[in-house]
Chain A
Amino acid sequence: AQTVTQSQPEMSVQEAETVTLSCTYDTSENNYYLFWYKQPPSRQMILVIRQEAYKQQNATENRFSVNFQKAAKSFSLKISDSQLGDTAMYFCAFTRSNNNDMRFGAGTRLTVKP
């Protein structure tokens, strides 16, 4: 069974600084997809970034980037130049393919301080 672990329940960072959120997962699959979703107080799930396991290059979306270590089954999210609007819950998620359920970690609550 696939499991996703986020070991940091809460984190904080000063505005404009960089923060890294950790995620590890367990799977026997070779091809899969990994995601980070942001959930602000409105509770909407917003896709931040995605990574395909067969791609060695780490995904980047503006201020957001990942460090994908396939052998270690690690998928961390780096937020650069943190902004107040980045304050939210962040969920790491895993899916095997297009027609499979998504497994979520327990989330990390990030607070960006002014």
Chain B
Amino acid sequence: EPEVTQTPSHQVTQMGQEVILRCVPISNHLYFYWYRQILGQKVEFLVSFYNNEISEKSEIFDDQFSVERPDGSNFTLKIRSTKLEDSAMYFCAATDRTVFGTQYFGPGTRLLVL
């Protein structure tokens, strides 16, 4: 299974602070995604990214969120001014060039906003 890694594994921040979550795909990865999962709830789509552009985003992905892949490797999710309700598990996922349609998930970053 093509491996996706994420850093940090845990992040604690104060409300109003900016956080950057990082995802490190491998060379075979094609599309990239961010999802979040609030504790006890279902996994929700945030955004998809292809060829250095956002290809799709959900209503959750408002102006507080942004994504980029600045150096061609790390794929980042930035939350500009965190709110208490941003506390969740954030998953990066990627599709592989050889296994069409399947998204492989990273281990997640557990974000806690105080």
**Residues of A bordering B, CB below 8 Å:** 33, 35, 37, 42-47, 50, 52, 91, 93, 95, 97-107
Contact = CB atoms under 8 A, between A and B. Distances in A.
Contacts of B110: 43
Contacts of B89: 43
B42 A91 contact: yes
A43 B37 contact: yes
Interface of B: 1, 30-31, 33, 35, 37, 41-45, 48, 50, 55-56, 58, 89, 91, 93, 95, 100-105, 107-108, 110
A107 B56 CA distance: 24
B45 A50 contact: no
Nearest to B99: A50
A35 B99 CA distance: 13
Contact of B48 (A43, A93, A99): A99
Given A45-B91, A98-B95, A99-B55, A104 B43 contact: yes
Contacts, number: 65
Contact of B50 (A46, A52, A99, A103): A99
B42 A105 contact: yes
B101 A43 contact: no
Q: Give me the 9 closest cross-chain CB pairs, A-B, nearest first.
A: A101-B45, A45-B105, A33-B101, A104-B43, A44-B107, A106-B42, A104-B42, A99-B31, A98-B95
Given A33-B102, A35-B102, A37-B105, A98 B42 contact: no
A13 B33 CA distance: 34
Nearest to B58: A101
B79 to A, nearest CB: 19
A73 B95 CA distance: 24
B52 to A, nearest CB: 14
A98 B31 contact: yes
A97 B1 CA distance: 19
A101 B42 contact: no
